[in-house]
Structure 1
Amino acid sequence: MYAIEFEAQIKDGVVKIPEQYARLMNAHARVVVLIDNADQEKKAMSEHSASTIDEWKDPQEDEVWT
């Protein structure tokens, strides 16, 4: 697994992938959303840990971060 980073607007729940990453258009990805100046409702969503989602637990991937 590798990471890319870009900024985008979220409109109607959709994030447009920049043209330079066109190869990702039909790929599976893990998405992390970082929001500046989020309102209280959006901040409340961030109080949940991704580690509680069983499908996201992969010890081989986690070795990269330890």
Structure 2
Amino acid sequence: MYAIEFETDIRDGVVRIPGEYARLNNTHARVVVLVDDGDAKDADVQAFSEHSASTIDEWREPAEDDVWT
């Protein structure tokens, strides 16, 4: 597993993948959304952000940590 990063706008629940990543079409991916909170105070969305990814068993694969080293 590897990581890519880009910024985009979410429109009608759709995240547009930039053309430079077209090779990712029709693949499985894990998506992490980082939102600039600015003035938005959506309690439901903020509730999700209060949970640590380390509490999700499927995300505790030590080999995946190698991408960050």
> Under TM normalisation by the shorter chain, which class is it?
0.7 to 0.9
Root-mean-square deviation over aligned CA pairs: 1.8
Matched-pair contact (CA < 8 Å) for 2:53–2:59: yes
Find out whether 1:6 has 2:15 as its counterpart: no
Aligned residues: 66
Give the superposition deviation at 1:30: 1.6
Give the superposition deviation at 1:34: 0.6
Counterpart CA distance in 2 for 1:62 and 1:8 is 25
Counterpart CA distance in 1 for 2:60 and 2:27 is 19
Bigger relative contact order, structure 1 or 2 (CA pairs below 8 A, ≥6 apart): 2
TM-score w.r.t. the length of structure 1 is 0.78
Question: What percent identity do the matched residue pairs reach?
Answer: 70
Counterpart CA distance in 2 for 1:56 and 1:12 is 28
Give the superposition deviation at 1:40: 4.1
Find out whether 1:57 has 2:60 as its counterpart: yes
1:36 match: 36
